[in-house]
Structure 1
């Protein structure tokens, strides 16, 4: 189950109040009329929703010279007071635990890292606890409470239950991570798939702001995809929506860790690229940095490995575009360090495989460090806090996973 630790609750007890707050959070500062138009609500509903949020200090109203004219009189701007609350976000990789402290507007205030030398849940939880306690101690200088902890992990994550069903890079199965982390953190905890959490951050604060339909495709150790359809982050009935890394594009291709052959991830994932470069060059290649260096140096066969990987990624993105018709696809992930080796093939393969007007999708590249992935985990914690009520416990918004 999700963490049931109680602390301060968000004073928005209706879906309309949460909707208005998230609208101002993503698009503000806004006048009440602008907020009503963006949220599709009546001005009266907005006034009712804003009142308790202003009283509790989550929203602030600027009555100074920045006010905009409306119907012949000044209209005050409503904005989120980012300093009203703090949140911690943690991204777990196979090599590091990265933690950030953010404000309510998901702006990073502090960031810390610890190496992972032992991938067992007990050891990783100890690192999460150490970083959480350190950031909570340092948060005291900001004069605001820390109200939630978000943890982002790759793989099959059941956010509703707070359980990591399967994380291949950590070799975890059925770990009740939210419950275990809450025991040491003393905070409400939300656990989500790392790509889905990053997608929430992009939707609210990044390249997806204002878009109804978009996708985030991540290239790195794995190939992930987060989907936003009609304004909602899609998890699917079983929490694995968007797994384009396991779309099989070559039945005769290499074996994937999922058991199938020719998955995008088995061709374009970080480990797959390193293994293939090692095979075609006959050299000892330790990691992705060395593999890319060989390709840049023109070592026979190495560049072709990246070309094949780029083509696989492009076909995966085209599959997303053909099925969901997003306005934009944002490509991110640590694999973009070798973007120059992949870009042309991604573009050409996407153009060849995208059907009809799906090819008009705006494909953008957005390299993001792991601190931004941890920020995504904080965004998931903020989302959970905003959309929960005392009656519902630590709930999640519809379609958010």
Structure 2
């Protein structure tokens, strides 16, 4: 594999320049005047920031002589050259690792899946490193360098430190994943919570583009929530924010793994639904797919379980809407496969619990396969690369790809 002589730094050395590039990345192609308006910056600031980005090949100016106004220079469009750099995203689940190779615009070029034989950090790192090596070979075939690696895991993740504080599905505590992964792969590494990473991808490239505030709620193995407030993904002072799954909606409800009772996750996660369907029907369903099958078949008790789950999710979403007033709430996750069983209950509970104009929040669903979660991890690596002065944390001394 080819390797660059040194890790190239992104030629945007101010927060304004990063903001300008991000605006073009997520909303472009745009004219300079449109960039200035959307970024809330002066035309002079945009001109100053765009020039070195064009010279370095990250931005491309499309000259359109037909767009020439009556006076002055033509209003040329500026866009990102997605092929200027590549990124790898890795999503770790309880039983597999998903890896993707993306371009600078976070378009998936290659996707790979590998099973996870064991969940200890050493085993996970070994499997992830092999997956990254495969994707580096793919990148080498394209003749473009990989500028960063993003890794996403569930649980309490401190992105600033690159440490997984607690991941219940992996049974990890205080694992310095960014440092270990950088030593193993030789790449700059960003580690983040999986839902927060997916939120970054949706903010820049999906349902949240152009919105100042929105929430992404994921339903499945757990109940997660990513938050964007005033255009920024909320991480919290200690890396924990948006834990809608641990909002208590029924003080007399089932015990949650966090120790409290009646959390949304204790009522509406896949495992919780399976346990409740078994108890309600006496049928030993193996997983959420079988549980949903019973409910679809009209088995007594199964539909009621999904009704309670929908009510819990709706109340949790209403709590977010009441506290933060997002423009939109996007519901996603593998649990959407059974969405028809609790959709009405989510909407009814949300309408009942949302206060005043919070009920006007746009609530929509967006099915996203696991490839998209790995793409979210790549999006965090792109974000770190663009905002390198403020956010990028390089672990280890090696800043180049392995030869």
Scaled by the length of structure 1, what TM-score is found? 0.95
Partner SS for 2:271 = helix
Q: Is 1:57 paired with 2:36?
A: no
Structure 1 distance, partners of 2:312, 2:13, is 46
Q: Kindly indicate whether the alpha-carbon contact (under 8 Å) linking 1:222 and 1:270 is maintained by their aligned counterparts in 2.
A: yes
Residue aligning to 2:356: 356
CA shift for structure 1 position 283:
1.5
Q: Show the counterpart of 2:305.
A: 305
**2:207 match: secondary structure:** coil
User: Within 2, Cα distance between the matches of 1:200 and 1:136?
Assistant: 23
2:208 equivalent in structure 1: 208
Please show how residues 369-388 of structure 1 align to structure 2 within 5 Å.
Answer: 369-388=369-388
Structure 1's unaligned 5+ residue stretches are 1-5, 396-401
Cα distance change on mapping 1:69 and 1:135 into 2, 3 Å: farther
Asked if residue 234 in structure 1 is aligned to residue 234 in structure 2, the reply is yes
Residue deviations 1:192-221 (CA, integer Å, cap 9, x gap) = 001101111111000000100110000011
Deviations 1:210-243 (A, max 9, x none): 1001100000111010110111111111111100
Provide closer, same or farther for how the CA distance between residues 170 and 67 of structure 1 changes in structure 2, counting only shifts above 3 A: farther
Q: CA offsets per residue over residues 332-381 of structure 1, 9 Å max, x none?
A: 00000100011010000000000000000000100100100110000000
Match of 1:3 in 2: none
Give 1:97-116 correspondences, 5 Å limit: 97-116=97-116
In 1, are the aligned partners of 2:102 and 2:375 still within 8 Å (CA)? yes
Matched-pair contact (CA < 8 Å) for 1:68–1:77: no
1:10–1:388 Cα contact (<8 Å) kept: yes
**Partner of residue 281, structure 2:** 281
Structure 2, unaligned runs of 5 or more: 1-5, 396-403
Partner residue in 2 for 1:148? 148
Indicate the residue corresponding to 1:199 in structure 2.
199
Using the alignment, how far apart are the partners of 1:72 and 1:346 within structure 2? 54
Superposed displacement of residue 64, structure 1: 3.7
Checking the alignment, whether the CA contact within 8 Å between 2:86 and 2:145 is kept in structure 1 is yes
Q: Give the 5 Å matches for 1:45-194.
A: 45-64=45-64, 67=67, 69=69, 71=71, 73-194=73-194
| Offset of residue 68 of structure 1 | 6.2
The runs of at least 4 aligned residues of structure 1 exceeding 6 Å deviation read none
Counterpart of 1:224 in structure 2 is 224
Measure, in 2, the Cα distance between the counterparts of 1:192 and 1:259. 24
* TM-aligned CA deviation for residue 91 of structure 1: 0.8
Which secondary structure state, in structure 1, belongs to the residue aligned with residue 299 of structure 2? coil
Offset, 1:16: 1.1
**Alignment partner of 1:75: what SS?**
coil
Seen in structure 2, the aligned counterparts of structure 1 residues 105 and 392 have a Cα distance that, compared at 3 Å, is closer
Contact 2:385/2:392 (<8 A) preserved: no
Q: Is the Cα–Cα contact under 8 Å of residues 385 and 394 in structure 1 kept in the other structure?
A: no
Aligned to 1:389, the other structure's residue is in SS state helix
Distance (whole Å) between structure 2 residues aligned to residue 390 and residue 231 of structure 1: 16
Contact residue 152 and residue 192 of structure 1 kept, 8 A: yes
* Residues 285 and 128 of structure 1, relative CA distance in 2, 3 Å threshold: same
Cα distance 1:214–1:252, how it changes in 2: closer, same or farther (>3 A)? same
State the match for 2:399 in structure 1: none
2:98–2:374: 8 Å Cα contact kept in structure 1?
A: yes
Q: 1:228 to 1:68 in 2, by over 3 A?
A: farther
Q: Distance in 1 between matches of 2:354 and 2:366?
A: 21
1:41 Cα offset (Å)? 1.2
* 8 A contact 2:182–2:394 mirrored in 1: no
CA contact (8 A) 1:213 1:327 kept: yes
Counterpart Cα distance in 2 of 1:390 and 1:349: 41
Please give the alpha-carbon distance, in whole angstroms, between the structure 2 residues aligned to 1:375 and 1:70: 43
Structure 2 CA distance for aligned equivalents of residues 298 and 222 of structure 1: 25
- Flag the 1:67–1:189 CA change in 2: closer, same or farther, 3 A: farther
CA distance in 2, matches of 1:275, 1:259: 17
| Alpha-carbon distance change, 264 to 337 in structure 1, aligned in 2, over 3 angstroms | same
TM-score by length of 2: 0.94
* Shift, 1:76, TM fit: 1.1
| TM superposition shift of 1:74 | 1.8
Q: Secondary structure at the match of 2:74?
A: strand
Is the 1:66–1:77 Cα contact (8 Å) retained in structure 2? no
